[in-house]
């Protein structure tokens, strides 16, 4: 699942997602625009959010 889809399904704002992934809002915007990829740490945070959605 892409970062935007995870964020939307989790009902998070870009600011909330940034806080949970320990990145800036600008970074979340770059992920969603396809201009950057999440770091390994951020990928783990996104995976945690995705697992919560699948429960």
The CATH number for 30's domain is: 1.10.260
Res 55: pLDDT: 79
Overall number of domains in the chain = 1
The reported pTM is 0.89
Instruction: Domain of residue 10: give its range.
Output: 3-53
Condensed to tens digits (0 to 9), the pLDDT of residues 9-39 reads 999 999 999 999 999 999 999 999 999 999 9
Cα-based distances in Å from 25 to 5, 8, 19, 30, 39: 16, 15, 8, 9, 14
Res 14: pLDDT: 98
């Amino acid at each position: 699942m892409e970062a935007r889809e995870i964020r939307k399904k989790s009902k998070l704002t870009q600011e909330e997602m940034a806080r949970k992934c320990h990145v800036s809002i600008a970074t979340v915007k770059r992920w969603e625009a396809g201009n950057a990829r999440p770091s390994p740490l951020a990928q783990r945070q996104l995976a945690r959010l995705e697992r919560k959605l699948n429960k």
